[in-house]
Amino acid sequence: MRCAVLGDPVAHSLSPTLHRAGYAALGLDATYDAVRVPAGELAGFVAGLGAEWRGLSVTAPLKREALALADEVSDLAVLAGGANTLVRTASGWLADNTDVPGAVAAIRERHAGALTVATVLGGGATAASVGLALADLGIAQITVAARNPANAAEAVAAVERHPSAPRVVVVPLDEVGATGDAGGVLVSTVPAAAQTDDLVARVLPAAVVFEVTYNEWPTPLVAAALSSGATVVSGMDLLVHQAVLQFGMFTGHDGPLDAMRSAGEAALAAR
Protein backbone atom coordinates (compact mmCIF):
# COMPACT_ATOMS: atom_id res chain seq x y z
CA MET A 1 0.00 0.00 0.00
CA ARG A 2 1.26 3.45 -0.91
CA CYS A 3 0.15 6.83 0.41
CA ALA A 4 1.56 10.36 0.29
CA VAL A 5 1.05 13.99 1.15
CA LEU A 6 0.82 16.29 -1.87
CA GLY A 7 1.33 20.03 -2.03
CA ASP A 8 3.68 22.84 -2.97
CA PRO A 9 5.75 23.33 -0.91
CA VAL A 10 5.61 20.01 0.90
CA ALA A 11 9.14 19.11 2.00
CA HIS A 12 8.48 20.61 5.44
CA SER A 13 5.43 18.42 6.10
CA LEU A 14 5.34 16.26 9.23
CA SER A 15 2.66 14.02 7.73
CA PRO A 16 5.15 11.35 6.57
CA THR A 17 6.54 11.16 10.11
CA LEU A 18 3.09 10.73 11.62
CA HIS A 19 1.77 8.15 9.18
CA ARG A 20 4.99 6.12 9.11
CA ALA A 21 4.96 5.99 12.90
CA GLY A 22 1.43 4.62 12.71
CA TYR A 23 2.45 1.96 10.21
CA ALA A 24 5.37 0.93 12.40
CA ALA A 25 3.23 0.77 15.54
CA LEU A 26 0.72 -1.54 13.86
CA GLY A 27 3.21 -3.52 11.78
CA LEU A 28 1.66 -2.50 8.46
CA ASP A 29 3.43 -2.98 5.13
CA ALA A 30 2.91 0.50 3.72
CA THR A 31 4.82 3.55 2.54
CA TYR A 32 4.04 7.24 2.90
CA ASP A 33 5.96 9.95 1.05
CA ALA A 34 5.92 13.70 0.50
CA VAL A 35 5.45 14.61 -3.15
CA ARG A 36 5.63 18.12 -4.56
CA VAL A 37 2.66 18.72 -6.87
CA PRO A 38 2.31 22.31 -8.14
CA ALA A 39 -1.02 24.05 -8.55
CA GLY A 40 -2.92 22.83 -11.59
CA GLU A 41 -1.19 19.45 -11.73
CA LEU A 42 -3.11 17.36 -9.19
CA ALA A 43 -5.51 15.71 -11.63
CA GLY A 44 -2.67 14.61 -13.89
CA PHE A 45 -0.68 13.23 -10.97
CA VAL A 46 -3.61 11.25 -9.58
CA ALA A 47 -4.51 9.88 -13.01
CA GLY A 48 -1.06 8.32 -13.25
CA LEU A 49 -1.21 6.42 -9.94
CA GLY A 50 -1.29 2.64 -9.89
CA ALA A 51 -3.65 0.40 -7.95
CA GLU A 52 -1.22 0.19 -5.02
CA TRP A 53 -2.03 3.80 -4.11
CA ARG A 54 -4.71 3.94 -1.41
CA GLY A 55 -4.72 7.41 0.10
CA LEU A 56 -3.49 10.96 -0.41
CA SER A 57 -3.22 13.80 2.08
CA VAL A 58 -3.77 17.07 0.23
CA THR A 59 -2.41 20.42 1.36
CA ALA A 60 -2.09 23.90 -0.14
CA PRO A 61 -2.60 24.84 -2.91
CA LEU A 62 -4.47 21.72 -4.01
CA LYS A 63 -7.52 21.37 -1.75
CA ARG A 64 -10.01 22.76 -4.25
CA GLU A 65 -8.48 20.77 -7.09
CA ALA A 66 -9.05 17.64 -5.01
CA LEU A 67 -12.78 18.39 -5.00
CA ALA A 68 -12.86 18.85 -8.76
CA LEU A 69 -11.12 15.59 -9.68
CA ALA A 70 -12.87 13.27 -7.23
CA ASP A 71 -15.45 10.70 -8.31
CA GLU A 72 -17.24 11.16 -4.98
CA VAL A 73 -17.19 14.12 -2.61
CA SER A 74 -18.28 14.03 1.03
CA ASP A 75 -20.85 16.51 2.29
CA LEU A 76 -18.26 17.92 4.68
CA ALA A 77 -15.74 18.59 1.91
CA VAL A 78 -18.43 20.43 -0.04
CA LEU A 79 -19.34 22.42 3.06
CA ALA A 80 -15.70 23.33 3.71
CA GLY A 81 -15.04 24.19 0.09
CA GLY A 82 -11.95 21.98 -0.03
CA ALA A 83 -10.67 18.47 0.56
CA ASN A 84 -7.50 17.53 2.43
CA THR A 85 -8.05 13.81 1.85
CA LEU A 86 -8.38 11.59 -1.22
CA VAL A 87 -9.20 7.93 -0.62
CA ARG A 88 -9.33 5.27 -3.34
CA THR A 89 -12.64 3.43 -3.41
CA ALA A 90 -14.18 0.77 -5.64
CA SER A 91 -15.58 3.53 -7.85
CA GLY A 92 -12.57 5.84 -7.98
CA TRP A 93 -11.43 8.57 -5.58
CA LEU A 94 -13.40 9.98 -2.65
CA ALA A 95 -12.62 13.55 -1.55
CA ASP A 96 -13.12 14.20 2.15
CA ASN A 97 -12.07 16.61 4.87
CA THR A 98 -10.45 15.62 8.18
CA ASP A 99 -9.41 19.17 9.11
CA VAL A 100 -12.83 19.94 10.57
CA PRO A 101 -13.33 16.82 12.74
CA GLY A 102 -9.62 16.96 13.60
CA ALA A 103 -10.08 20.45 15.03
CA VAL A 104 -13.13 19.31 17.00
CA ALA A 105 -11.16 16.38 18.47
CA ALA A 106 -8.16 18.59 19.26
CA ILE A 107 -10.29 21.07 21.22
CA ARG A 108 -12.29 18.41 23.01
CA GLU A 109 -9.15 16.54 24.06
CA ARG A 110 -7.94 19.62 25.94
CA HIS A 111 -11.25 21.10 27.11
CA ALA A 112 -14.41 19.16 27.93
CA GLY A 113 -16.47 22.06 29.26
CA ALA A 114 -19.18 24.09 27.56
CA LEU A 115 -18.10 26.59 24.90
CA THR A 116 -20.43 29.33 23.73
CA VAL A 117 -18.58 32.10 21.88
CA ALA A 118 -15.45 32.28 19.75
CA THR A 119 -13.08 34.70 18.09
CA VAL A 120 -11.06 33.67 15.05
CA LEU A 121 -8.02 35.74 14.09
CA GLY A 122 -7.59 35.61 10.33
CA GLY A 123 -10.10 34.99 7.56
CA GLY A 124 -8.51 32.52 5.15
CA ALA A 125 -9.08 28.85 4.33
CA THR A 126 -7.93 27.68 7.76
CA ALA A 127 -10.47 30.00 9.36
CA ALA A 128 -13.21 28.29 7.35
CA SER A 129 -12.29 24.82 8.63
CA VAL A 130 -11.94 26.06 12.19
CA GLY A 131 -15.24 27.93 11.95
CA LEU A 132 -17.04 24.75 10.89
CA ALA A 133 -15.44 22.91 13.80
CA LEU A 134 -16.65 25.60 16.18
CA ALA A 135 -20.15 25.23 14.76
CA ASP A 136 -19.92 21.48 15.38
CA LEU A 137 -19.03 22.28 18.98
CA GLY A 138 -22.22 24.28 19.40
CA ILE A 139 -20.71 27.76 19.43
CA ALA A 140 -23.48 30.36 19.24
CA GLN A 141 -21.46 33.31 17.94
CA ILE A 142 -18.16 33.64 16.09
CA THR A 143 -16.30 36.90 15.58
CA VAL A 144 -13.92 36.72 12.62
CA ALA A 145 -11.17 39.34 12.81
CA ALA A 146 -9.30 39.90 9.56
CA ARG A 147 -6.79 42.49 8.43
CA ASN A 148 -9.04 42.98 5.38
CA PRO A 149 -12.58 41.94 6.37
CA ALA A 150 -13.58 41.51 2.71
CA ASN A 151 -11.10 38.66 2.41
CA ALA A 152 -13.02 36.70 5.05
CA ALA A 153 -16.11 36.37 2.85
CA GLU A 154 -15.46 32.77 1.78
CA ALA A 155 -14.72 31.61 5.32
CA VAL A 156 -17.88 33.27 6.59
CA ALA A 157 -19.95 31.75 3.78
CA ALA A 158 -18.65 28.27 4.65
CA VAL A 159 -19.64 28.66 8.30
CA GLU A 160 -23.06 30.06 7.38
CA ARG A 161 -23.75 26.93 5.29
CA HIS A 162 -23.40 24.76 8.41
CA PRO A 163 -26.72 23.15 9.47
CA SER A 164 -26.28 24.67 12.94
CA ALA A 165 -24.71 27.89 11.76
CA PRO A 166 -23.73 30.29 14.54
CA ARG A 167 -24.08 34.04 14.20
CA VAL A 168 -20.94 35.34 12.47
CA VAL A 169 -19.61 38.87 12.88
CA VAL A 170 -16.63 40.19 10.91
CA VAL A 171 -14.44 42.98 12.29
CA PRO A 172 -11.07 44.49 11.34
CA LEU A 173 -8.16 42.84 13.12
CA ASP A 174 -7.16 46.12 14.75
CA GLU A 175 -10.61 46.47 16.34
CA VAL A 176 -11.12 42.98 17.79
CA GLY A 177 -11.62 42.62 21.54
CA ALA A 178 -11.43 39.85 24.12
CA THR A 179 -13.45 36.66 23.79
CA GLY A 180 -13.87 36.23 27.55
CA ASP A 181 -12.89 33.43 29.88
CA ALA A 182 -16.43 32.13 30.43
CA GLY A 183 -16.89 29.61 27.63
CA GLY A 184 -14.85 31.62 25.14
CA VAL A 185 -12.56 30.15 22.49
CA LEU A 186 -9.86 32.23 20.79
CA VAL A 187 -8.42 30.75 17.60
CA SER A 188 -5.38 32.21 15.86
CA THR A 189 -4.72 31.45 12.21
CA VAL A 190 -2.36 34.43 11.84
CA PRO A 191 1.45 34.15 11.87
CA ALA A 192 3.46 34.84 14.99
CA ALA A 193 4.82 38.03 13.43
CA ALA A 194 1.29 39.46 13.33
CA GLN A 195 0.73 38.81 17.04
CA THR A 196 1.74 42.22 18.33
CA ASP A 197 1.72 43.10 22.02
CA ASP A 198 -1.32 45.28 21.40
CA LEU A 199 -3.26 42.51 19.65
CA VAL A 200 -2.44 39.91 22.30
CA ALA A 201 -3.50 42.28 25.08
CA ARG A 202 -6.81 43.00 23.35
CA VAL A 203 -7.88 39.42 22.58
CA LEU A 204 -7.22 37.87 25.99
CA PRO A 205 -8.60 36.54 28.29
CA ALA A 206 -10.19 33.41 26.81
CA ALA A 207 -11.02 30.05 28.35
CA VAL A 208 -9.40 28.20 25.45
CA VAL A 209 -6.70 29.45 23.08
CA PHE A 210 -6.24 27.41 19.89
CA GLU A 211 -3.02 28.30 18.05
CA VAL A 212 -3.13 26.50 14.70
CA THR A 213 0.58 26.80 14.00
CA TYR A 214 3.09 24.37 15.47
CA ASN A 215 6.15 26.30 14.36
CA GLU A 216 7.71 29.24 16.25
CA TRP A 217 6.37 27.75 19.47
CA PRO A 218 5.35 29.30 21.74
CA THR A 219 3.94 32.19 19.75
CA PRO A 220 3.41 35.49 21.59
CA LEU A 221 -0.28 34.62 21.96
CA VAL A 222 0.45 31.18 23.42
CA ALA A 223 2.99 32.57 25.88
CA ALA A 224 0.45 35.09 27.16
CA ALA A 225 -2.33 32.50 27.24
CA LEU A 226 -0.25 30.11 29.33
CA SER A 227 0.56 32.92 31.76
CA SER A 228 -3.14 33.73 32.09
CA GLY A 229 -4.09 30.13 32.87
CA ALA A 230 -6.00 29.49 29.65
CA THR A 231 -6.24 26.01 28.16
CA VAL A 232 -4.00 25.89 25.07
CA VAL A 233 -4.67 23.75 22.00
CA SER A 234 -1.79 23.52 19.53
CA GLY A 235 -1.43 23.10 15.82
CA MET A 236 0.29 19.81 16.58
CA ASP A 237 -2.90 18.64 18.30
CA LEU A 238 -4.81 19.48 15.13
CA LEU A 239 -2.24 17.88 12.83
CA VAL A 240 -2.19 14.64 14.80
CA HIS A 241 -5.96 14.30 15.15
CA GLN A 242 -6.65 14.92 11.47
CA ALA A 243 -3.85 12.50 10.55
CA VAL A 244 -5.32 9.80 12.81
CA LEU A 245 -8.62 10.15 10.97
CA GLN A 246 -6.86 9.92 7.59
CA PHE A 247 -4.89 6.91 8.77
CA GLY A 248 -8.13 5.06 9.49
CA MET A 249 -9.55 5.94 6.08
CA PHE A 250 -6.39 4.85 4.26
CA THR A 251 -5.69 1.62 6.16
CA GLY A 252 -8.94 0.47 7.74
CA HIS A 253 -7.21 0.47 11.15
CA ASP A 254 -7.64 2.91 14.03
CA GLY A 255 -4.73 5.32 14.01
CA PRO A 256 -2.43 4.94 17.05
CA LEU A 257 -2.76 8.47 18.45
CA ASP A 258 0.00 8.29 21.05
CA ALA A 259 2.59 6.81 18.69
CA MET A 260 1.82 9.32 15.98
CA ARG A 261 1.86 12.27 18.38
CA SER A 262 5.17 11.21 19.95
CA ALA A 263 6.79 10.89 16.53
CA GLY A 264 5.53 14.30 15.44
CA GLU A 265 6.67 16.04 18.60
CA ALA A 266 10.11 14.42 18.38
CA ALA A 267 10.53 15.45 14.75
CA LEU A 268 9.46 19.00 15.50
CA ALA A 269 11.84 19.26 18.46
CA ALA A 270 14.70 18.10 16.25
CA ARG A 271 14.22 20.92 13.73
Instruction: Cite the active site residues.
Output: 63
The three-class DSSP label of residue 154 is helix
What one-character DSSP code corresponds to residue 83? -
Rounded Cα distance, 95 and 109, in Å: 26
CA distances from 202 to 116, 127, 193, 243 (A): 19, 19, 16, 33
183: left (phi over 0), alpha (psi -120 to 50) or beta: left
Strand partners, 72: 94
List CB contacts of 21: < 8 A, sequence separation 6 or more.
256, 259, 260, 262, 263, 264
Among residues 256, 236, 251, the alpha carbon closest in space to that of 15 is found at 236
Rounded Cα distance, 113 and 132, in Å: 19
Provide the CB-side half-sphere exposure for 73 (13 A, CA).
Answer: 18
> 10 Å Cβ neighbour count for 226?
13
What one-character DSSP code corresponds to residue 137? T
